[in-house]
A and B are shown apart, each in its own frame.
Chain A
Amino acid sequence: MEQFDYVVLGASHAALEALRAIRAHDSDGSIAVLDREARLPVSPTVLPYVVSGKRPEDRIALRERGWFDDLRVDYRQQAHAAALDSAHSRLRLADGSEIGYGKLLLATGAAPAVPPIAGLSDVRFHVLRTLDDALALREAGRSAGRAVVLGAGLVGMHAAENLARAGARVTIIEMRDQVLPGYFDATAAARIQAAFHDNGVEVLTGRRVERVAPRAGGCTVQLDGGDPCDADLLLVAAGVRPEVSYLAGSGVAVERGVVVDAFMRSTAANVWAAGDVVQTPSFFGDATPAGGILPDAVEQGRTAGMSMAGDPGVQAYPGGVSLNTYGFFGRRALSVGRDAPQQGGADWEVLVRGGEGSDAYLKIVLRDGRLQGVFGVDVLFDPGIMWELILRRVELGARAKALLEDPQDAARALMSGLWR
C-alpha cells in the first residue's frame, strides 16, 4: 500500500490553498493530491463563463502540472476516492487501490442537489458543477428555444443570463419569494430581478414545480397552480449537497456537511475537511447561510493546511461570512455579511440609500454600531475590506454615515488607518 504523510482529496480551491499552507511549513513531508477528474483542476465558479463562451475550456485551469511539481506534490488525476477507513488511516479508490495517509484532507466540494420532484428522473436535465456539465450546457444552449431554470441562486441566475444571451426564451422558477435568496436582501433582489425582466427573462418567484414529464425534444414542467411550461432545456440549479458519498461508515461525522472544529478537524483522528464539503458554521453564530462560496473554501483550506502541518501561526477559523460579487447584464451587485432580522431589536440599525428608481442601491446593516452587512447594486465598494471590518468587529460610530455616502472611500480610509 502506498503511504503519504499528507493526502489531499480534491484539487480545487480548498485543496490548492491547503497544499500551499502545508508546504509553507513542512518542506519535506510527502504529499499526494487525488482528484477524480481526468484533467487539470477547474473552478466551478468559472463555469458560467465557459457556458457563455467568454472563456475557452483550455484557458481556465486553476493550476498547471508544473505548479504541483514545484511544490513536490504527487498530483494524480482519475483518482476517485470510494471509501475511507479512518481507523486504519487508509483510503480506497474507485479502481480498488489503497492509499495510506498520515493526515488526510477532505476537499471534495459539493455536488448539485437534485430536488425530489416527481418525474425528474425520467427527463433529460442539466446541472452545472463540472466542466463536462458546462460543455454539455453550452452545447444545448446553442439550440434551445425555450429553457427553464429551476432555482434562482447564483448558478441559476448566471446560467439563465447566458441562455438568454444565446437566444433562448428563459424562465426561472424559484421556490422562495425573491431571487438570490440568502445572497441579497429583498430590495436588491428586486432590482436584479427587474434587470432580468427587462432582458426578456421570465422570473417566477414563490413557485414550486410539482412534476416534470418528458416531451419530444425536451420536457414539460408542471408548476403549482397548474401552469405547464414547456422546455427544450431544463437546468436544475436548486442548490448543492456536500460530496460525501465515500464517507459512509468512515467514522467521519456528517450532518449538513462534514462536521469540523475551528481548525477544520473532523470527528475522525487525522482527518481534516475544508470547503464546500464542510458544514460551515456562521461567523455570526446564527442561522445565516454560511459556506458554499469560494472565499470560504480558500480560508478553510488555509486553516486546515496550517493545522495539518502543525504551523504554529494557525488561527481558529472565525466562521463563514457570506460574500458575493455578482455581475448581471453588465451591472454589478455586491453583498457581504447578513441582513437585519425581521424583528431586530433596538441594537440593530439599517441605513439605506437609493430606493426604487434611483441609480444605485446601498444598504448598510449595523448592530451595536458594528458592521453586519453591506448590500449594494450598481454601487462599487471593496467587499474584502467590508469583510475584514465585520470580522474585526470594528465599531463604526460616526463613520457609518460616510460609509453609506461613499462606501468605497470611507471603508478604504478606515482600512488604511486600521490595518494597512
Chain B
Amino acid sequence: MSATPTIAFDAARCDGCGHCMNACVSAKSSDAHRAQPRIQILRDDESGRWGIAQCRQCGDPRCASVCPAAALEKGDDGIVAWDGERCVNCLICTAGCTFGGIAFSAAEGHVVKCDQCEGAPQCVAACTRGALRYVTTANLYNRWGDLEDLFVPGLGGCQGCNTELIMRHTLRRVGSNTVLATPPGCIPGMGSVGYNGMLGCKVPVFHPLLTNTASMLTGIRRQYKRKGRNVTALALAGDGGAGDVGFQSLSGAAERGEQILFICVDNEGYMNTGAQRSGSTTYGAWTATTPIGESARGKTQDAKNLPLLMMWHGCEYVATASTAFMEDFYAKLEAALDASQRGFAYLHLYSPCTSGWRFPSASNIEVARKAVETNFAVLWEYRRDQGLKLSRDIEDPAPVTEYLKLLGKFRHLDATQIAHIERHVAEQAQVLRELARMHPREGRQVVGHQSDLMAVDLDQ
C-alpha cells in the first residue's frame, strides 16, 4: 500500500475567500461542463470557523470498500481514483465516505472527487493565506516504506516521545550494514541494546560509555576500513553524552574527521535519569537540578549551541532537524549518511521530552513544530564546501511565547526571564542569518578546518 501526500487545512488561517474552489473549478472544467469544485470551504456559523470538505485519499478508503462496481481504487500513487467506465452512479460511495470527499455533481452527471491534480493541487497554489498546504511527507513512506525496521517491536519509551520515531526512521534508512552506538540515556533506556540477554535491534549495537561514543566508533570504523569493509558507524546519543561529558571524544573525532554519523537527540537535559540540567537546557527552564523555589527560578544560563560548535570543527556535514519536519529530516539524514562516508557528519535533532518538559504526550510533534516556527530551534545545514544554509525562512517567526506556553517547564517564567529568552532566540537567529549570508568563495580564507574549504569570507 502506498502513502499519499495530503492537502492539509489550517482553519485558523482560512478567511473563506474561496480562491481554492475557483481554482478547482477552472482545473476540472471542460468545454462540455462547468465542474463542481472537489474542495469545498464552508462556514460553521455556530463556531464561526471555516471548515473543509475534500477527499483525504484515505489509506483504507471506505468509498472504495462499498462501491459495488469496483469503480474506486487506491492506486500506487496513493490517490483514490474514480473510474467512469465502471461507475454505475449508485451513490453508495457517498454513504461510505464520512468526509464529504466524494459527491454527486449534477452538472457533470456523476460522482466527483479530488485527485490532487497529478501532484500539483491547484487549490493549494491558489491559497494565498497558507491555509492549505500540500504535505508530501507521505512520499517518504513510499520511498522508504519497504526498508526493514531494524529495531525490535516494543521499545519502552515514554508515551508520546518522538525518540523512538527518530530511532526507527534513522536505522531503517541507514540500514543493516551498520554498527550502532547508543550511549547511556533514553535510547538504551528504551531497550535499544537489550536487557537481560534479550536484544533491542537487528544490527550490532552496544552501550558505549556516556563519554566515549565517538571514540569507540572511531576504532570500529577504522578497523573495518582497514579490512576493506565499508561499515557505517552510527551514534544515537543524548545531548549530555554528546555535548557535555562526552564532548571531548565528540570533538576529537570531529577534528580528526573520523567517518562517523553522529546523531544527537537533544531533549535539553538528563531526562533518563530524572530530568536534570544539562548544557543544552534552556535558560529559565525548570529541571530537577534547577528547581523553582524562594530564591531560584530555573536555570540561570543559556544553552550552548552544540550544532554550531560542531560546525566550527569543520565537519563534513552538520545539520539541525526536527520530527515536525520529516521530509527535511530525511533529506538531512541522507546527506549526513553520505557525508559520513567522507568525514564526520553530525545531525542535531530537537526532541521534546513529554515527561521532563511537562506537556501532554499527544502534543510532541506540535511542540516540535512550534519550536521551529518560533525560531527557538532553527533548522539549518552546513556542508564543508558550501557553508551554512537555512532550511526554512526564519523571517517573521511566531512569537516565542507561543512555544514557551506549551511547556510546563516554563510555567513559572516571569516577564524578565521571557524577555531574556526572546533576546537569546533573536540573537541566535541573527547569528545564523549572518552565517547563511556568507558564501563560500574559492581560494579565500578558510575557516573551521585547516585542510579544507569552509571558505567563509571573513572580510564580510
Contact = CB atoms under 8 A, between A and B. Distances in A.
> Do A and B interact?
yes
Interface of A: 13, 16-17, 20, 43-46, 49, 54-55, 59-63, 294-295, 298, 302, 323-325, 327, 332, 334, 336, 380, 382-385, 387-388, 397-399, 402, 408-417, 419-420
A298 B61 CA distance: 12
Contacts, number: 132
A415 B51 contact: yes
Nearest to A43: B68
A15 to B, nearest CB: 12
B53 A59 contact: no
A62 B70 contact: yes
Interface in B260-277: none
Contact of A402 (B45, B52, B94, B96): B45
Contact of B51 (A334, A397, A398, A413): A413
Nearest to A16: B65
A327 B110 CA distance: 12
Nearest to A409: B42
6 contacts: A13-B65, A387-B98, A402-B46, A412-B40, A413-B45, A413-B51
A59 B84 CA distance: 12
Contact of B95 (A46, A323, A410, A414): A323
Interface in B32-51: 40, 42-47, 49, 51
B89 interface: yes
Given A298-B96, A384-B95, A412 B89 contact: no
What are the 7 A-B residue pairs with the smallest beta carbon separation, nearest first?
A: A416-B51, A43-B68, A325-B91, A45-B68, A413-B44, A383-B95, A412-B53
B43 A413 contact: yes
A32 to B, nearest CB: 21
B92 interface: yes
B98 A385 contact: yes
Given A60-B70, A387-B98, A417 B65 contact: no
A415 B85 CA distance: 31
Given A413-B51, A420-B9, 11 more contacts: A20-B60, A45-B90, A46-B69, A294-B66, A295-B92, A323-B95, A324-B95, A380-B103, A380-B104, A382-B100, A402-B45
A415 B49 CA distance: 12
B46 A412 contact: no
B265 to A, nearest CB: 29
B139 to A, nearest CB: 22
B100 A325 contact: no
Q: Is the interface of A mostly helix, strand, loop or mixed?
A: helix
B88 interface: yes
A324 B98 CA distance: 14
Contact of B94 (A55, A294, A325): A325
B95 A412 contact: no
Nearest to B91: A325
Contacts of B89: 327
B99 interface: yes
Contacts of A382: 53, 94, 97, 100, 103
Contacts of B98: 384-385, 387-388, 415, 419
A419 B101 CA distance: 13
Nearest to A40: B70
Contact of B62 (A298, A332, A413): A298
Contacts of B65: 13, 16-17, 20, 298, 302
A20 B53 CA distance: 27
Given A298-B62, A412-B53, A55 B97 contact: no
B86 interface: yes
A13 B66 contact: yes
Nearest to B88: A49
Contact of A414 (B44, B68, B90): B44
A413 B70 contact: no
B58 to A, nearest CB: 12
A295 B97 CA distance: 10
Interface string B396-423: 0000000000000000000000000000
Given A55-B86, A298-B62, A325-B92, A384 B69 contact: no
A263 B85 CA distance: 37
Given A380-B104, A409-B42, A416-B53, A327 B90 contact: yes
